[in-house]
A and B are shown apart, each in its own frame.
Chain A
Amino acid sequence: MIGQLIMTGIVAGSIYALVALAMSLTYKSSEVANFAQGEMAMFSTYVAFVMLATYQLPFWVAFGGSLLFAFLLGLFLHLAIIRRAKDPNVLNLLIITLGFQVFLYGLAGWKWGSEQRVLKIPVSQTETVEFAGLIISQLNLATILVAILLMISVYILLRFTKLGLAIKATQQNETAAKINGIPTRRIVAITFGISSVIGAVAGILMAPITTLDPNMMIEPLLKGFAAAVLGGFNSLAGVVCGAFILGIVESLFGFYISTEFKSIVAFLIIVIVLYFKPSGLFGTHYTRKV
């Protein structure tokens, strides 16, 4: 039984991990937690839905189109909105992302209404796979696999490519990156794009589990945020671990203690972590030496 519960936790954790990863990437680049991340993912998921349902395109085309849209949306957020801010400080930028969130939320509600829709995907939710004595639906298995694949891609990007090096350099010290000829503004914009793509994947994986409506990403966003806080916002490996821990704890809490109060676990975790270890479980805090 406990194995099955942990499996459920891992499925939820993979979604949280993607959201947390996306938030952490942009946070490290711009020192802003992008609260529009969830709605950007929701909106991108709707784009996939429109391509599938209205234009009858094959799933993979819709999937790719949605990710492309997400990338452009991320670029747009940075180039057209965040960068235009005059004398920006962290609080201003945070409020800008909240504003963008409300904008997208309203736009989606106006365009597609608040009714719940079904995103058709090529894996089944009812057929199951048996794996080491555990039963898991095809959809959940796909969720875990896609999430892990994406995390590995992000790892490879950051660890082995020139773009990744430029992203890390910009995140750590923007002035120093600039004087080494790294076009930091372009790099930050690309980071926003990548984050948005990761969020969109989370949205598309999330939609069949719950339903597709404008509210779908609000809870996963908060959970992903909690996971990022738990793991330590500035450590990518940390936020992924935090997400899986959160997913598993939540699942166990729901079964053994109370299903209704399952959602408070995440917020309890935020409070406890900020109280005892503000840098998170795996976060490090570098103070700059003068």
Chain B
Amino acid sequence: MKQPMLNIKNIETYYDRILALKGISLSIENGSVTAVLGNNGAGKTTILQTVIGLLDDQPEKGSIFFQGRDITGKETVDIVKMGIGYVPEGREVFQELSVLENLMAGGYMHNSASAKETIEKVYRYFPVLKERQKQMAGTLSGGEQQMLAISRALMNRPQLLFLDEPSLGLSPLLVDQLFDIIHQIAKDGLTVLLVEQNANKALAIADYGYILENGRFVASGTVEQLKRDEDVQEFYLGIKAEESVRATQRYKRKRRWN
């Protein structure tokens, strides 16, 4: 059997004193796009932060393997070095550095000649950044900052890219453009783990999907399977099937035991 790129086994993570992830298992195939869908507070970001090692002393239980190597509880810097790129929620670009400096910071682990080579590749996905390369990142629009955050993560030439809510706060038109580019990046061979509230958009480019509610996965499968699922249709894709108050009650009852 082929080894998965990322294999998360039954992790439990505390956020302060709240058990935010209650036993999550997830595996990502080489070259696939995997989407994790869920509402605010479901724990989507926590999954990414746990894997990348941003939460001190977490996960409490479980283990995480990247390309067969155990990365549970390792330092963020070491995990990033192994080839995981992370585009955080809210972009988090270096506001008072220029676009070019942001990208160079992203390529910190490579020498500057090879970083400059990578910049040219990244500019092919996002030509607008080349026009703005001398501009301070804090003065870019929200969409441009998101593009910069993605480019900065690409600078390290990751094998696996985490995208946390790339559509957050962007106009629908921009979201369309951005997802086209993400789709292109994935087609060029990068494995992607996409965390989104915008289920329609995410499932449009994903191969596999997981639905997260209150720290547990309540559904998972290929995108085709998920799209056929009535609950997913109703609550995540907004295709109305029946009277919604009763349906919500029925759904909650059903989910409680998961």
Contact = CB atoms under 8 A, between A and B. Distances in A.
A162 B110 CA distance: 11
A178 B80 CA distance: 8
A180 B138 contact: no
A162 B109 CA distance: 10
Nearest to B106: A180
Contacts of B81: 181
Nearest to A290: B90
Interface residues of A, number: 20
Interface in B66-92: 76-77, 80-81, 86, 88, 90, 92
A182 B105 contact: yes
B52 interface: yes
Interface stretch (A37-45, A163-171, A197-205): A163-171
B34 interface: no
A165 B86 contact: no
A178 B93 contact: no
B109 to A, nearest CB: 4
Contact of A182 (B52, B108, B153): B108
Contacts of B77: 178, 181-184
Contact of A179 (B86, B95, B96, B138): B86
A82 interface: no
A173 B108 contact: no
Given A177-B105, A179-B76, A181-B109, A168 B94 contact: yes
A172 B152 contact: no
Contact of A175 (B54, B97, B104): B54
Nearest to B89: A290
A261 interface: no
A177 B101 CA distance: 12
A136 to B, nearest CB: 37
A179 B52 contact: yes
Contact of A181 (B94, B97, B104, B156): B156
B93 A181 contact: no
A166 B96 contact: no
A176 interface: yes
Interface SS of chain A: helix, strand, loop or mixed? helix
Contact of A180 (B90, B96, B108, B112): B108
A286 interface: yes
A179 B96 CA distance: 18
Interface string A152-165: 00000000001001
Contacts of A172: 94-97
Contacts of B93: 173, 176
A178 B95 contact: no
A116 B138 CA distance: 51
Contacts of A290: 90
A181 B77 CA distance: 5
A286 B96 contact: yes
B80 A168 contact: no
Contacts of B90: 289-290
Contacts of A184: 77
Contacts of B112: 162
Contacts of B54: 175, 178-179
A169 B80 contact: no
Contacts of B95: 172-173, 286
Nearest to B95: A286
A165 B105 contact: yes
A112 to B, nearest CB: 42
Interface of A: 162, 165-166, 168-169, 172-173, 175-184, 286, 289-290
22 contacts: A162-B108, A165-B97, A165-B105, A169-B105, A172-B94, A172-B97, A173-B93, A175-B54, A176-B88, A176-B92, A178-B54, A178-B76, A179-B52, A179-B80, A180-B153, A181-B80, A181-B81, A181-B108, A181-B156, A183-B77, A184-B77, A286-B96
Given A179-B80, A181-B80, 15 more contacts: A165-B101, A165-B105, A168-B97, A169-B108, A172-B97, A175-B88, A176-B94, A177-B105, A178-B54, A178-B76, A179-B52, A179-B76, A179-B86, A181-B109, A289-B90
